[in-house]
Amino acid sequence: MPAPIEMEVEDLDRIRKSGGDPLVLDVREPHEVAICAIPDSLHVPMGSVPRRVGELPTDRDIVVVCHHGGRSAQVTMWLRSQGFDRASNLSGGVDAWARRIDPNMKVY
């Protein structure tokens, strides 16, 4: 069953807390991930996604995240065009996660 194109941070938090196990795919650059990251996320910079797409599961929900949601939206659409119908964009990115879910996370 296809996942929604966009997911709010509260939805991801609820899914993870209830035992769901979506892959959180962080497509930011290494210097951004060094500042903050959602725990247990897989870091694959946006430009590396096409050559590393084989590492991504086709049988699991994938939530794509960047700083504010722009780059991750592009990656989500590309993944969907490649048959990953369980890929969703995290609306607002790590910035929204830090502001609405994890107030101890650094923002930039």
Active site residues: 66
Q: Give the residue extent of every domain in the chain.
A: 6-100
Strand segments (E) across 1-108: 6-7, 23-26, 42-43, 62-65, 87-90
pLDDT at position 1 is 67
pTM of this prediction?
0.96
Three-state secondary-structure class, residue 71: helix
Q: Which CATH superfamily is domain 6-100 in?
A: Rhodanese-like domain (3.40.250.10)
Sign of CA dihedral 31, 36, 41, 47: negative
List pLDDT tens digits, range 57-97. 999 999 999 999 999 999 999 999 999 999 999 999 999 99
